[in-house]
C-alpha cells in the first residue's frame, strides 16, 4: 500500500541553523505515526512543512500523490480542507465562544443551514466531552479543555488526516489519559491518519503504530514501539529511558569548565 | 568605524526588506478585496471597531480644535479689522489641513494601534496560523475587511472632525466674541470651494486612511510573535503613521494647492 | 446576536453622520450650495478695473447680500471687464439706474460689489446692463497718487 504522506530528502534551514538535513518519512493510511525528538529538533517545523506553511530548501512532501509545495494557492487550500491540525496552544479564536470556534470551519466552507451546523457542532463537542461547555469563551477554558475543543474543531470537516503538535505537554494525568484515548478512538472510528509530534515517551509509545526518532536534522531510528525498545543504539536508549547523560551530553557544547574559570576576559 | 558602517548597512538592508515585505503584504491584501463583496458583514463588523469607536475622540478633539481656531483667528484678524473673515480662516484651515491631518493622527493612535495589537496577538497565539491550516486565508478573512473598514472610516471621520470644528469656531466667534453670523457664513461660503478645498481634503483623508491602515495591519502581521514584539510593533505603528501622514500631507498639499 | 445588532445600528449611524458631515461641508460651508439657487436673473456691469474681484464674490445692497458674481470676462472692444451678476429672484425691484461699485471689506479683506439704488420706475430685468459703475480702488494706485501729490506740493 502506498503511503498517504511521502517525505523525501527534506532539507530546511532557519538562517544559518540546519533544521533538517535529508529526512525521509512515510506515513501510512489509518495508522497513528509518532515523530519524536528532543525540544528544538524541528518537530513543529516538520508539521508546518507538511501543511505547506513553510517551503523546504530541498526535497519534497507528497500528500495523496500531490507535491504540497508545487500546488497553487487555491489547490493548497483545497488540500488543507482535508487536513486537520491541532496546535500546541490550541490556537482557538479568542473573540468567539467554544460553539462558534467549532462551527467556524463549517461556516467558512459550507452553506449548511443553521440547524444542521448546530447539530454537527454538538456532535463533535459530545465526542470530546465538552458539549456543556459550548457557551464558554476560550479564556475560561483550562489547557486540557482548550486542546479538546481544538480537536473537535480539527475534525468538524471530517478530514482524511490530522496532525497533533505536542498534544500531551502540560496536561494533568487525567486529561492526559483522556487525550490519549481520544486520539486513538478518533483515529479508528473516523478512519483517520494521525501524526503525533511529541517528546512524551510513555504516552506516545502507548498509542503509536510506528515511531520516527529525529535528532540533529536526521531520522536516527524508526520502527514499532517494541522494536525501538530493543534498539541497540545508545542515543535511542537514552531518549526512551530519559537518562540524564549519554550521547546527548548534559552540558551544552562549548568550552571546557576549567578553561572558562581561567578565562580572565569575562571576569572584568 | 567598520562596526558603525556595518550596523548602518544592516539597518539599511533590514529597512529595505521590511519595505519589500510591506509591499508584498499590500498586494496580497488588495487581492483579498474582491472576495469581500460576498462577505460584507465582515466589513460592517470592522467598521464598528475601527470607525464607531473612534467617533468620540474625533468629536471632542474637533470641537476643541475649532474653538481654539476661532479664538486665535479672531485675535489676529481683529487687528486688521477683518474679523468678518473668521469663517473663511476656520473653514479653510480645517477642511484643507487640520481635518484630514489631525483626524488621521488620532485615528492612528486610536484605531491603528488597536489593529496592530489585535493582529499581532492573533499571530503570537497562532490564531492566524491555525486559520491557514483550516484552509481559511487570513488575508481575506481577517486583514482585507479591516483594511476596507479603515479606508471607509477615515474620510467620514475627517468630515465629522471638520464639521464639528467649524461649529466650535462658530460658537466661539459668534456666541462669545460677537462676530456677525451672516458675515461668518457668507464669507466662508464665498471663499471655500467644493472642488478645490473640500474634495481635495477628502482625497487627502482617503490617502491617509489607506496608509495608516496599511501600516497598522502590516506591523501587526509582521510583528515578532511575543508580547514584547507586539508592544514594539504597536509603537512603530503610531510613529511611522505620524511620519507618513505629515510627509504625505506636504506632498499632497504641494500637488493640490501649491504651484511647485 | 443582540450585541451584533446594536453594533450594526451604530455602524449605520456612524456612516450616516459622516455623510451628513460631508453634506454640511458641501452646502453650508462651501459654495456648492450656491449652484442650486441659479434661479435668479443675470445683469451685466462693465468696470474699468475690477481689482481682486472673483467669480462668486458677493453682491450686496445696503450691506445685505442680494446676489453673487457669476462670471468675469474682458470686453474685446472697450477693454473693460465685463462682470455678470446673478441676483437672487426675490430682489426683483431694483431700479434701472442703480449704480455698482467695487469695495473692499476692511483694509485687506475681500472685494465685493455694492449696489446703490437709483430712483427709476423701471426695474432691472434678466440681461440688462448696469451703466453707472465705479472701478475698484487699487491700493497701490492710491498710495502712488498720494506720494506723487505730496512730492508735487513741496
Ligand atoms: N520563526 C522562527 N524563526 C527562526 N527560528 C525558528 C523559528 N521557529 C522555530 N525556530 C527554530 O527552529 C528550531 C526548531 O523549532 P521547532 O520546530 O519549534 O522545534 P520543536 O517543535 O521540535 O520543539 C528551534 O531551534 C527554533 O529555535
Ligand atoms: Mg514544537
The pLDDT of residue A179: 84
Question: Quick one: closest CA in A to B133, which residue?
Answer: A80
pLDDT tens-digit readout, A56-106: 999 999 998 889 999 998 899 999 999 999 988 888 999 899 999 999 999
Is the Cβ–Cβ distance between B169 and B70 less than 8 Å?
A: yes
Distance from CA of B143 to the nearest CA of A (A): 15
pLDDT band for position C150 (cuts 50, 70, 90): confident
Tally of structural domains, chain B: 1
Q: What is the average per-residue pLDDT within A249-263?
A: 74
Mean pLDDT on C9-15: 93
Q: Does residue B213 sit within a domain?
A: yes
A14 lines ligand 1 (CB under 6 A): yes
Which residues, 6 or more positions from B259, have their beta carbon under 8 angstroms from its beta carbon? none
Nearest CA to ligand 1 atom 2: A14
In this predicted structure, what is the pLDDT of residue B217?
96
Whether pLDDT at A189 is above 80: yes
Chain B residues whose beta carbon lies within 8 Å of the beta carbon of residue C14: 47, 51-52, 55, 153, 156
CA distance B13 to chain C (A): 42
Which of B135, B142, B146, B227 to mutate to test binding with chain A, by most A CBs within 10 Å of its CB?
B135
* Angstrom distance (rounded) from CA B41 to CA B118: 19
* Predicted confidence band of residue C33 (pLDDT cuts 50, 70, 90): low
* Structural domain boundaries in chain A: 5-82+159-262, 94-158
Nearest CB to B198 within list C13, C26, C106: C26
What is the SS3 assignment for B87? helix
The minimum-distance atom of ligand 1 relative to the CA of A166 is: 21
- What does the mean pLDDT of chain A come to? 87
Confidence of residue C51 (pLDDT cuts 50, 70, 90): confident
Arithmetic mean of pLDDT over chain C: 83
pLDDT reported for residue A256: 75
Domain map (residue ranges) of chain C:
2-32, 38-144
Distance A45 CA to ligand 1 centre (A): 6
Task: Say what the pLDDT of residue C9 is.
Answer: 92
Cβ contact A–C (≥3 pairs, < 8 Å): no
* Gap from CA of A199 to ligand 2 centroid (Å): 9
- Classify the C-alpha dihedral A81-A84-A89-A95 as positive or negative: positive
B180 lies in a domain? Answer: yes
Round to whole Å and give the CA distance between C103 and C112.
Answer: 6
Q: What is the pLDDT of residue B190?
A: 75
Residue A233 has pLDDT above 80, yes or no: no
The residues of chain B scoring below 70 in pLDDT are 259-260
- Residue C106, sorted as left (phi over 0), alpha (psi -120 to 50) or beta, turns out to be left
CA dihedral defined by C83, C87, C93, C96, rounded to 10 degrees?
A: 10
Q: What is the pLDDT of residues C112-135, one digit of tens each?
A: 899 998 888 888 888 888 888 888
- Residues C84, C88, C89, C90, Cα dihedral to 10°: -140
Mean pLDDT along residues A113-119: 93
Q: Provide, as residue numbers in chain C, all residues whose Cβ is less than 8 Å from the Cβ of B194.
A: 26, 30-32
C79 vs chain B: nearest CA distance in angstroms? 27
For residue A264, is pLDDT > 80? no
Whether A198 lines ligand 1, by a CB cut-off of 6 Å, is no
Pick the residue whose CA is nearest to atom 9 on ligand 1. A45
d(C-alpha B107, C-alpha A82), whole Å: 41
Please give the pLDDT value at position C135.
Answer: 82
What is the mean pLDDT of the segment spanning C93-103? Answer: 89
The C-alpha cell at B18 is 521590511
Looking at CATH, the fold of the domain delimited by A5-82+159-262 is given as Rossmann fold (3.40.50)
| Chain C contact partners (≥3 CB pairs within 8 A) | B
pLDDT given at position A235: 78
Percentages helix, strand, coil for chain B (3-state, rounded to 5) are: 90, 0, 10
For the Cβ of A19 lying below 6 angstroms from any atom of ligand 1, the answer is: yes
How much is the pLDDT for C106?
A: 65
pLDDT at position C125 is 87
Determine the Cα–Cα distance for residues A61 and B125; give it in Å rounded to an integer. 26
Q: Where does the pLDDT of residue A161 fall: very low under 50, low under 70, confident under 90, or very high at 90 and above?
A: very high
Local structure of residue C134 (DSSP, 8 states): E
Q: Is the dihedral of CA A248, A252, A256, A257 positive or negative?
A: negative
Amino acid at each position: 500500500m502506498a503511503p498517504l504522506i511521502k517525505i523525501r530528502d527534506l532539507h530546511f534551514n532557519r538562517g544559518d541553523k540546519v533544521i533538517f538535513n535529508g529526512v525521509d518519512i512515510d506515513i501510512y493510511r489509518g495508522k497513528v505515526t509518532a515523530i519524536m525528538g528532543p525540544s528544538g529538533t524541528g518537530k513543529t517545523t516538520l508539521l508546518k512543512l507538511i501543511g505547506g506553511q513553510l517551503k523546504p530548501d530541498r526535497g519534497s512532501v507528497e500528500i495523496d500523490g500531490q507535491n504540497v509545495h508545487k500546488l497553487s494557492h487555491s489547490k493548497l487550500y483545497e488540500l488543507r480542507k482535508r487536513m486537520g491540525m491541532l496546535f500546541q496552544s490550541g490556537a482557538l479564536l479568542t473573540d468567539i465562544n467554544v460553539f462558534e470556534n467549532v462551527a467556524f470551519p463549517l461556516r467558512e466552507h459550507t452553506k449548511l443551514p443553521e440547524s444542521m451546523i448546530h447539530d454537527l457542532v454538538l456532535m463533535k463537542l459530545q465526542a470530546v466531552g465538552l458539549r456543556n461547555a459550548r457557551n464558554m469563551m476560550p479564556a475560561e477554558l483550562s489547557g486540557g479543555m482548550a486542546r479538546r475543543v481544538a480537536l473537535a474543531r480539527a475534525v468538524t470537516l471530517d478530514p482524511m488526516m490530522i496532525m497533533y503538535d505536542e498534544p500531551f505537554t502540560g496536561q494533568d494525568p487525567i486529561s492526559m489519559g483522556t487525550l490519549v484515548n481520544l486520539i486513538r478512538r478518533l483515529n479508528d472510528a473516523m478512519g483517520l491518519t494521525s501524526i503525533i509530534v511529541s517528546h512524551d515517551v510513555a504516552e506516545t509509545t502507548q498509542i503509536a503504530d510506528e515511531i520516527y526518532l529525529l535528532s540533529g536534522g536526521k531520522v536516527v531510528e524508526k520502527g514499532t514501539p517494541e522494536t525501538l525498545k530493543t534498539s541497540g543504539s545508545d542515543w535511542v536508549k537514552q531518549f526512551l529511558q530519559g537518562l540524564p547523560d549519554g550521547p546527548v551530553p548534559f552540558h551544552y557544547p562549548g568550552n571546557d569548565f576549567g578553561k572558562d574559570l581561567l578565562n580572565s576576559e569575562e571576569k572584568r | 568605524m567598520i562596526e558603525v558602517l556595518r550596523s548602518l548597512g544592516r539597518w539599511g538592508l533590514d529597512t529595505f526588506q521590511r519595505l519589500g515585505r510591506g509591499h508584498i503584504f499590500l498586494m496580497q491584501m488588495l487581492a483579498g478585496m474582491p472576495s469581500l463583496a460576498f462577505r460584507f458583514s465582515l466589513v460592517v463588523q470592522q467598521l464598528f471597531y475601527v470607525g464607531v469607536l473612534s467617533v468620540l475622540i474625533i468629536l471632542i478633539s474637533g470641537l476643541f480644535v475649532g474653538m481654539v481656531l476661532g479664538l486665535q483667528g479672531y485675535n489676529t484678524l481683529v487687528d486688521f479689522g477683518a474679523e468678518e473673515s473668521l469663517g473663511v480662516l476656520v473653514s479653510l484651515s480645517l477642511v484643507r489641513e487640520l481635518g484630514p491631518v489631525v483626524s488621521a493622527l488620532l485615528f492612528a493612535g486610536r484605531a491603528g494601534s488597536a489593529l496592530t495589537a489585535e493582529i499581532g496577538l492573533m499571530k503570537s497565539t497562532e490564531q492566524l496560523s491555525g486559520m491557514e491550516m483550516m484552509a481559511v486565508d487570513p488575508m481575506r478573512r481577517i486583514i482585507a475587511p479591516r483594511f476596507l473598514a479603515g479606508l471607509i472610516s477615515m474620510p467620514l471621520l475627517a468630515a465629522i472632525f471638520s464639521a464639528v470644528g467649524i461649529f466650535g469656531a462658530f460658537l466661539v466667534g459668534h456666541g462669545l466674541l460677537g462676530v456677525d453670523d451672516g458675515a461668518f457664513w457668507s464669507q466662508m461660503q464665498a471663499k471655500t470651494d467644493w472642488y478645490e478645498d473640500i474634495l481635495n481634503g477628502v482625497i487627502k483623508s482617503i490617502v491617509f486612511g489607506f496608509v495608516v491602515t496599511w501600516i497598522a495591519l502590516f506591523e501587526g502581521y509582521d510583528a515578532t510573535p511575543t508580547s514584547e514584539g507586539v508592544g514594539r510593533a504597536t509603537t512603530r505603528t503610531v510613529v511611522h503613521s505620524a511620519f507618513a501622514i505629515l510627509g504625505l500631507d506636504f506632498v499632497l498639499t504641494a500637488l493640490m494647492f501649491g504651484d511647485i | 446576536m443582540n450585541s451584533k445588532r446594536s453594533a450594526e445600528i451604530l455602524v449605520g449611524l456612524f456612516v450616516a453622520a459622516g455623510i451628513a458631515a460631508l453634506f454640511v461641508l458641501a452646502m453650508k460651508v462651501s459654495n456648492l450650495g450656491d449652484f442650486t439657487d441659479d434661479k435668479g436673473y443675470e445683469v451685466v456691469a462693465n468696470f474699468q478695473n475690477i481689482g481682486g474681484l472673483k467669480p462668486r464674490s458677493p453682491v450686496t445692497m445696503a450691506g445685505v447680500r442680494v446676489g453673487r458674481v457669476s462670471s468675469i470676462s474682458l470686453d474685446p472692444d472697450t477693454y473693460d471687464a465685463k462682470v455678470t451678476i446673478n441676483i437672487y429672484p426675490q430682489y426683483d425691484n431694483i431700479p434701472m439706474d442703480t449704480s455698482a461699485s467695487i469695495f473692499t471689506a476692511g483694509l485687506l479683506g475681500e472685494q465685493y460689489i455694492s449696489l446703490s439704488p437709483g430712483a427709476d420706475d423701471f426695474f432691472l430685468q434678466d440681461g440688462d446692463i448696469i451703466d453707472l459703475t465705479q472701478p475698484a480702488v487699487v491700493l497701490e494706485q492710491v498710495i502712488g497718487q498720494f506720494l506723487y501729490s505730496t512730492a508735487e506740493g513741496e
